[in-house]
Amino acid sequence: MYIVKRILTMLITIWVIATLTFFVMKVIPGDPFASDADVLPPEVLENMRDKYNLDEPIAVQYVLYLRDLVTFDLGYSIQSQTRSVNAILADGATASALLGIQAMAIALVFGLLLGILAALNHNKIIDYVSMFIAIIGISVPSFILAPLLIKYFAVEWGLLPVASWGSWEHSILPSLALAASPLAVIARFMRSSMLEVMNQNYIRTADAKGLSTTKLVIRHGIRNAILPVVSFIGPLFVFLITGTFVIEKIFAVPGIGRYFVDSIFNRDYPVIMGTTIFFSVILVVTLFLIDISYRFIDPRIKLTSGGD
């Protein structure tokens, strides 16, 4: 029952996002064929408008769009007319997702580790060093970190390829650059959560049982401290796997990050809609999965369809 209700809500959410995006997009001044208007004969332009239904009233365009959307047909890009939006997303999504998953893994492993170590050594040198790293991770923008990584790892030491995409080696530097800031955020969050948990009475109870420090920290400390961290891992993960404009640009990764920006510049209506819907579907589904997973990681939470 809960799941059915949630899925319905998700569909409504996506419909609302699609509707809003559609009309906001139409409000932006400009035209996908503005730059072609001087070179192409009017008949051709007319033809193009007709193909993309741009000659219809907006309400009709909207209905036609929704009709296609329910059949998962996102249409054809205006910019590169031979490619369907589905194909563009499918091509780019693999690279972006791979990059995002790797970055997320790095950020999670090292972020949690750093946060836990810092908390367990509160106000000692390890704590200060960890938090110094975290501050750097948060405050150095990726467009500075990425060139620095390239300069040292690729150019000076020649360990890894400078840019481009292909082998696994190509994905290491962009993953690192992408991971830096979420790593720092996770580290800081985990540290404060862990500090709070380690001061709880049940930690003292566990200590009074004569448990070893490892068991105390893992079973009673981390287990509880990680709960609040999980709630913001979801959105973070979505942002990472749906591609990032800056990192993909710098490392020449053929992801979908650039379409989010380029499509708006080109008024490429089908691609704008496509990227937005793609992003919101992944976000909504991830949040749903996170909510479901809470049922398993926090026994106090029961999934109910709720009265009010």
Cβ 162 to other proteins, closest distance in Å? 46
Cβ 17 to other proteins, closest distance in Å? 35
Three-state DSSP string of the chain: CHHHHHHHHHHHHHHHHHHHHHHHHHHCCCCCCHHHCCCCCHHHHHHHHHHCCCCCCHHHHHHHHHHHHHCCCCCECCCCCCCEHHHHHHHHHHHHHHHHHHHHHHHHHHHHHHHHHHHHCCCCHHHHHHHHHHHHHHHCCHHHHHHHHHHHHHHHCCCCCCCCCCCHHHHHHHHHHHHHHHHHHHHHHHHHHHHHHHCCHHHHHHHHCCCCHHHHHHHHHHHHHHHHHHHHHHHHHHHHHCCCHHHHHHCCCCCCHHHHHHHHHCCCHHHHHHHHHHHHHHHHHHHHHHHHHHHHHCCCCCCCCCCC
CB 61 within 8 A of CB 53: yes
Instruction: Give the nearer residue to other proteins in terms of CB position, either 265 or 296.
Output: 296
Instruction: Give the nearer residue to other proteins in terms of CB position, either 81 or 213.
Output: 213
Instruction: Give the nearer residue to other proteins in terms of CB position, either 5 or 219.
Output: 219
Cβ 117 to other proteins, closest distance in Å? 18
Cβ 120 to other proteins, closest distance in Å? 12
Instruction: Give the nearer residue to other proteins in terms of CB position, either 9 or 199.
Output: 199
Instruction: Give the nearer residue to other proteins in terms of CB position, either 299 or 307.
Output: 299
Cβ 292 to other proteins, closest distance in Å? 17
Instruction: Give the nearer residue to other proteins in terms of CB position, either 180 or 225.
Output: 225
Cβ 113 to other proteins, closest distance in Å? 21
Instruction: Give the nearer residue to other proteins in terms of CB position, either 51 or 223.
Output: 223
Q: Using CB under 8 A as the criterion, which residues of the chain lie in contact with other proteins when the complex forms?
A: 200-202, 204-212, 215, 219-220, 223-224, 227, 297-300
Which whole-number Å values give the CA distances from 61 to 66, 68, 182, 268, in the listed order? 9, 11, 40, 15
Cβ 211 to other proteins, closest distance in Å? 6
